[in-house]
């Protein structure tokens, strides 16, 4: 299939993006079927409509141990605020909140995240903090 046909595969005959025109609840169902939150986040580049749509999925699974430099990334408040924003961004109830990262955050940050998840009526909370030294295992 040539590139022009591939680019238009999700567009109707009039050039309208058919997937983005679906109702939010259908798009949320599609996003819920994506295996990881990181992959769902990647859909935010599709269009402005998709930018924050991933935050409304009922299960949030953030595994900060995958491929990130803990010395560089975890020191900033940006990531802590990002997790908090994701938890409070939508009013939909949460089925689950799973968070795995290096043992770096203080208890006030963890309590803040748990409180934000409880506000969204979370059913399952799975927190795992591993030593930064990989030789110690997780």
Query: Do 40 and 13 reside in the same domain of the chain?
Result: yes
Query: Do 135 and 98 reside in the same domain of the chain?
Result: yes
Backbone angles phi, psi at 32, to 5 degrees: -65, -25
Which pLDDT score is estimated for 131?
65
Which pLDDT score is estimated for 48?
82
Which pLDDT score is estimated for 107?
83
* Element (DSSP H or E) covering residue 39: helix 37-42
Which pLDDT score is estimated for 9?
47
- Is there a contact between 17 and 11 (Cβ–Cβ < 8 Å)? yes
Query: Do 30 and 90 reside in the same domain of the chain?
Result: no
Which pLDDT score is estimated for 2?
52
pTM: 0.67
The list of the chain residues with pLDDT below 50 reads 1, 5-9
Query: Do 124 and 83 reside in the same domain of the chain?
Result: yes
Query: Do 49 and 65 reside in the same domain of the chain?
Result: no
Which pLDDT score is estimated for 124?
94
Give the sign of the dihedral formed by CA 124, CA 82, CA 44, CA 22. Answer: positive
Query: Do 52 and 91 reside in the same domain of the chain?
Result: no
Would you call 86 exposed, middle or buried from its count of C-beta atoms within 10 A (0-12, 13-18, 19+)?
A: buried
Backbone angles phi, psi at 124, to 5 degrees: -140, 130
Query: Do 35 and 4 reside in the same domain of the chain?
Result: yes
- Rounded Cα gap, residues 94 and 125, in angstroms: 10
Query: Do 26 and 82 reside in the same domain of the chain?
Result: no
Query: Do 86 and 137 reside in the same domain of the chain?
Result: yes
Give the structural domain span for 20.
1-57
Which pLDDT score is estimated for 87?
85
Which pLDDT score is estimated for 15?
58
The torsion region of residue 93 among left (phi > 0), alpha (psi -120 to 50) and beta comes to beta
């Amino acid at each position: 299939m040539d590139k022009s046909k591939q680019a238009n595969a999700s567009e109707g005959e009039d050039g309208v993006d058919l997937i983005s025109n679906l109702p939010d609840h259908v798009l949320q169902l599609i996003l819920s079927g994506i295996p990881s939150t990181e992959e769902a986040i990647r859909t935010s580049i599709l269009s402005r409509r998709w930018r924050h749509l991933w935050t409304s999925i009922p299960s949030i699974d953030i595994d900060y141990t995958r491929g990130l430099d803990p010395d560089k990334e975890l020191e900033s408040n940006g990531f802590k605020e990002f997790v908090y924003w994701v938890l409070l961004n939508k009013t939909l109830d949460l089925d689950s909140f799973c968070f795995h990262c290096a043992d770096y955050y203080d208890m006030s940050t963890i309590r803040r995240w748990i409180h934000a998840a409880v506000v969204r009526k979370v059913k399952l909370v799975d927190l795992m903090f591993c030593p930064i030294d990989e030789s110690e295992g997780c």
